[in-house]
Homo-oligomer: A and B are copies of this chain.
Amino acid sequence: MGARHGPPGGLMHRLQVGELAPTMRLGPQETRHLHVLRLRPGERVQVFDGRGGEAVAVLSELDAGHALLHLDPAAAAHSRGAEYPQPVTLAIALLKGDKLADVVRAATELGAARIQLLITAHAEARDIGAQKLVRLRRIAGEAARQSERRIVPDVLEPVPLTKLTWEGQLLTAHPGSQERLTDLLTWDAPLTVLSGPEGGLSTAEVEHLTRQGARLITLGPRILRAETAPLALLGAMAATGV
């Protein structure tokens, strides 16, 4: 596919900033990033705020510890149209080890706008440390930058599945279901796709979800690992081309 190791001719480097403003002063960390990219004063970069705002800026000053950027008024706000028609939340059961990091990275590439961690009855992990949550958020930020997303997905602290609330549609992958994701996608409201833990959702959890209007969908008759199922869900959505 089209990931790049550095912008080829004509494409701009991308830089996350705290806030889009006519003049943006960067701290030592972001400045170091500019040095790594070998940018020089006068060059243009694409700046984004991680909340959907995006613009083009000119690097006007750059030294060892700070940099100054000016928004380019001539460049219209750039939109890649890479976001889904409605925000998509991935609700994912806590998984052991580094599996969540892989899921967060791929889910960001595949267009998730939010990642809601879930505590479930059969989960491998019962909780997540503060440090690990910070790491997952950093991974979402890196993946958003690499895949040129305008939005950095929020990674939300775990809630018990039975406390989960959602707006719009909720589709849950569940073995034995017949309904298909592509038949249910309407894009007339926000969407949450939910993927359970290695041990599956409990009967009570499935009942809780369906009572609140969730639909159970198929990922085929094969047994998928808990870290593969969410990517299949989001992959199926991406393959619809939206």
Q: Number of A residues whose C-beta is below 8 Å from B?
A: 52
Which residues of B lie under 8 Å from residue A55 when comparing CB positions?
none
CA of A159 to CA of B228, assembled, Å: 27
Closest chain B residue to A242 by CB distance? B220
A209 sits at the interface (CB 8 A): no
User: Is A222 among interface residues, defined by CB-CB distance under 8 A?
Assistant: yes
Q: What is the distance, in angstroms, from A113's C-beta to the closest C-beta of chain B?
A: 12
Partner of A1, one of B102, B147, B225: B225
A178 to chain B, nearest CB (A): 7
Query: Given A2-B200, A82-B221, are A239 and B233 neighbors across the interface (CB < 8 Å)?
Result: yes
Cβ A239 vs Cβ B236 within 8 A: yes
Chain B residues with Cβ below 8 Å from A109 are 222-225, 228
Q: Does A234 contact B (CB under 8 A)?
A: yes
Interface flag for A71 (CB, 8 Å): no
**A180 to B, closest residue via Cβ:** B241
Least CB separation from A198: chain B residue: B3
Q: Give residues of chain A (168-191) contacting chain B, Cβ–Cβ below 8 Å.
A: 173, 175, 178, 180-182
Residue in A2, A182, A195, A232 with the greatest tally of chain B CB atoms within 10 Å: A2
Q: Report how far A228 CA is from B102 CA in the complex, Å.
A: 10
Contact partners of A82 in chain B: CB under 8 A? 220-223
- Decide if A114 is an interface residue (CB 8 Å cutoff): no
* A46, CB-defined interface residue at 8 Å: no
A1-46 contacts to B (CB < 8 Å): 1-5
* Interface mask (A129-155 → B, CB under 8 Å = 1, otherwise 0): 000000000000000001111000000
**What are 5 pairs between A and B in contact, CB < 8 Å?**
A5-B198, A109-B222, A180-B241, A217-B239, A220-B240
Q: Give me 12 other A-B pairs in contact (C-beta within 8 A), A111-B222, A220-B239 excluded.
A: A1-B195, A80-B221, A82-B220, A82-B222, A109-B222, A110-B224, A148-B222, A148-B223, A182-B182, A218-B239, A220-B241, A231-B235
